[in-house]
Amino acid sequence: MKVSAIMVEPVTIDKDQRLSNALDILDKKKVDRLIVTRNGKVQGIITYADIADRLGVSKVVAVSIKRLHVSSAMTDTVITVSADDVVVDVAKLMIERGMSGCPVVDEEGKLIGVITKRETTELVKKFDNVKVEDLMTSADILQVNPVERLVKARMEMLTAGYSGLPVTDAGRVLGLLTEKMVAEAMARFSEEVPDKYRASQVRQIRVVDAMMRGPPLASPDMSLSEAATLMLDANLNTIPVVGSGNKLMGMISATDFTRFVANRFKLTEEE
């Protein structure tokens, strides 16, 4: 299968636009990335993670999101792919490089589409004979407590390379924290708190102020088809896997689904 079969229309933005506009477009279009372009050519990418990182920088905390530009937060090193590339190969590229998506360009370098882990997750919806427990991450799961400081939780998420964390209390899942939720919480903070108080109050933001309460939950015996559908319908890229009493047993993510695609829809990596 070629990339052209599953790529979607990209949502773009100019690097001189305000960061607040980028956040609004991401939410309105229900995407997790915008392609930064100039004259149809790719200049960079901006994601919720980029926005969260920018707003979390100590020197920027005192600045309102409405005064920052896309160029100040975007990633300008971009790996592009062709519409004729094979989906399995692009899935491998995303896993190996730790990317959540790639712009698709033509021979002249003009942007024609985008492929993300959401598109690879869509491919998994036909697998109703493989269970979540066969693919989920179950060891050394990073968890956060609702009262933990948001900046600390975001740093832990960044260090571990995760796009979402389960929010738990005594092992029981209470919520979910994602890059989108962190970015939106930091943006609200930058708009609502007066300039002179931001630097001193940013550490008062707690996980509970940003998290999704009662997120969709998967069970170990749920099929990949059901879990992928649950995740996509909720516009999430990761969901907790729980057992009796909502006890955390693992996490299943778009990265797990993309790895499954990269392995040619097999549970073990091909030699």
* 34 C-beta neighbours (distance < 10 Å), count: 26
How many CA atoms does the CB half-sphere of 251 hold within 13 Å? 25
Q: Tokens for 197?
A: 């108080």
Non-local (6+) Cβ contacts of 112 within 8 A are 7, 83, 104, 105, 106
Helix axes 150-160, 48-56, angle to 10 degrees: 130
Query: Would 3-116 and 126-262 be classified into the same CATH topology?
Result: yes
Map tokens 């960061």 to a residue. Answer: 19
Average pLDDT, consecutive stretches of 10 residues, N- to C-terminus, the chain (271 residues): 96 94 94 90 92 68 76 92 97 93 93 96 94 93 94 88 92 95 88 68 87 96 97 95 96 95 82 37
pLDDT of residue 151: 87
Measured distance CA(72)–CA(223) in Å, rounded: 42
- Give the E-state strand segments of 39-80 in sequence order: 41-47
Q: Does domain 126-262 have CATH number 3.30.70.380?
A: no
Length of the chain in terms of residues written: 271
Non-local (6+) Cβ contacts of 42 within 8 A are 35, 36, 78, 80, 103, 105, 109, 111
Q: Tokens for 56?
A: 């979390």
CATH architecture of 3-116: Roll (3.10)
Closest by CA position to 49, among listed 22, 68, 28: 22
C-alpha dihedral (197, 202, 203, 204), degrees to nearest 10: 80
Element (H, E) at 167: strand 164-169
Burial of residue 232 (CB within 10 Å: 0-12, 13-18, 19+) is middle
Measured distance CA(90)–CA(250) in Å, rounded: 26
Sequence spans of domains, the chain: 3-116, 126-262
**Partner residues linked to 75 by β-bridges:** 45
pLDDT of residue 190: 78
pLDDT of residue 58: 45
